[in-house]
Amino acid sequence: MAYFHGVRVKEIPTSILATVSTTAGLPVVFGTAPVHLTKEPAKYVSKPVICYSWNEAVTALGYSADWSKYTLSEVMYSEFKLYAVKPIVFVNVLDPAKHKKSMEAAAEVVEGSAVIDNAVLLDSLQVLPDALSDAPAEINKDYTAAYNDDGQLVISILEDGSLKDAASIFIKCDVVDASMVSRDDIIGGASSDGSIKGMELIDSIYTMLSLVPGIIAAPGWSEDPVVAAVMKAKSANISELFRCICLTDVDTKEAKSYLDVNEWKNKNNYTGTNQVVCWPCVRNGDAVFHMSTHILGVIGVMDAANSDVPYQSPSNQSLQATGLCLADGTEVALSLPQANLLNSQGIMTGLNFVGGWKSWGNYTGCYPSNTDVKDCFICVRRMFDWQYQTFILQYWQKVDQALKPTLIKTIINTENIRLNGLVSRGYLLGASVQFLEDENPTTDLLAGIIRVHTKLTPPVPAQDIEDILEYDVSSFSKLFE
């Protein structure tokens, strides 16, 4: 040691770690968006984009009221307009370079403008004076082209341009065709050039955004059993580390009555421990939503009210709804016994009983065949998933440090402090973390493997509250006082 004369100070690592912040219910939603309405249609194709506001989402992905074609617009409207929750991660799989077709058509010019009702890709647009012409007019010299608020392309004829006297024009262009998008695009995969598409991107969300998925959804697609199976598998194994839940819908074109839903659910294997099964659709005014879209909003509002701790059940929470229906708009009227039957089959629904329209159901899709409390209750499953991501992110910084008693104590003490804080706030009934000798054999310690044992007790939903009512005859004695 070098000679020193005087007073000095050195630092050692803090024995208790600062806790990490997670977004427990971060929605990752897959679907199609009207990207032809944006300035850069190809920018967000199979690329996650996180949005914190309506304007941000519309700028990135566009918005259309035709939700059957553009499924992400349904979620965008629900999340930002009805439930006011943020952020949301959108993954659009509609590729304007792939899902398109050519179009040629004449258009009438009325008061200096022609209106086109097709999803035109502006960079492909050619405007000609007639069908026989081979000399396209020049944009911003002879005409301008822009979409209006209704998603219609308006071609405005400029007064000094070559089309100023035209009663009609002829256009050639490529138009987006959302019907060409298939479930294979939603499922995605890795291509020969190394690019990753569709749901295969779930494993990349954290590396791209530094946020772990909390909920996977694909309204308009999740009623396809093949898509739902992939959602179920992906949600249970994200990057071989994390877990989350997925929201899936029962196909109301096939299951039109509450009596048909359980058979459809079991036949199509909607029985995952990390899977929430929803039926039917939700109506808000004239708009028809998938039930999973509204449950996504319900969870977002609920988590925000609980400091982002997912301990509460999403059942009996307010739905922004005016009714239930099938996808074709046919009204569905559920009584309490009918809604409870669905709940007993592991199906989440809606109910208008006390206090307006509410979400109704506590169980994941695995119920009733699996009654393990950590698997069958949505809220308990979410708390366990949240513990996965919190523990991994908290202690990743300790990987490859020297295996010493101080390392073990740091992990144990930090976790016990964090979990005891959750207990004191009512988010857990109890919790403990231990480093047990019988779970850490010498052979594993020699290989640098250690295990801590965490016990935690998230509260289960009080779904059956009973008042035992009795006539008390002893009170007749009051007559003789």
Spatial separation of the C-alpha atoms in residues 71 and 85, rounded to whole Å: 18
pLDDT at 463 over 90: yes
At 20 the pLDDT is 45
At 2 the pLDDT is 67
**Yes or no: is domain 27-95+182-378 CATH 3.40.50?**
yes
At 263 the pLDDT is 97
Q: Which of 72, 92, 310 is nearest to 214 (CA)?
A: 310
Q: Kindly report the average pLDDT of the chain as a whole number.
A: 93
Reported confidence tier of residue 70, pLDDT bands at 50, 70, 90: very high
At 13 the pLDDT is 62
pLDDT at 344 over 90: yes
Q: Which of 126, 115, 123 is nearest to 151 (CA)?
A: 115
For the beta sheet containing 281-284, the strands, ordered from the edge strand earlier in sequence to the opposite edge, are 287-290, 281-284, 323-325, 331-332
Calculated CA dihedral for residues 239, 240, 243, 247, nearest 10 degrees:
60
Reported confidence tier of residue 165, pLDDT bands at 50, 70, 90: confident
Cβ within 8 Å of residue 208, ≥6 positions away = 48
- Give the model confidence (pLDDT) of 468-481 as tens digits: 999 999 999 999 98
At 6 the pLDDT is 53
Reported confidence tier of residue 351, pLDDT bands at 50, 70, 90: very high
* Average pLDDT over every residue of 335-359: 96
At 466 the pLDDT is 94
* Average pLDDT over every residue of 99-114: 92
> Token pair 């291509």 is at which residue?
191
At 19 the pLDDT is 47
Spatial separation of the C-alpha atoms in residues 202 and 239, rounded to whole Å: 8
pLDDT at 231 over 80: yes
At 8 the pLDDT is 59
Helix (H) or strand (E) holding 455: strand 453-457
Mean pLDDT lowest among 48-62, 123-137, 455-469: 123-137
- Give the model confidence (pLDDT) of 190-214 as tens digits: 877 778 999 999 999 999 998 999 9
Spatial separation of the C-alpha atoms in residues 52 and 86, rounded to whole Å: 5
**Domain ranges (residues) in the chain:** 27-95+182-378, 100-176
Pick the residue with more confidence: 259 or 165?
A: 259
Cβ within 8 Å of residue 103, ≥6 positions away = 118, 120, 171, 172, 173, 174, 175
pTM, two decimals, is 0.91
- Give the model confidence (pLDDT) of 301-320 as tens digits: 999 999 999 999 999 999 99
- Give the model confidence (pLDDT) of 2-61 as tens digits: 676 556 565 656 655 554 445 788 999 999 999 999 999 999 999 999 999 999 999 999
At 357 the pLDDT is 97
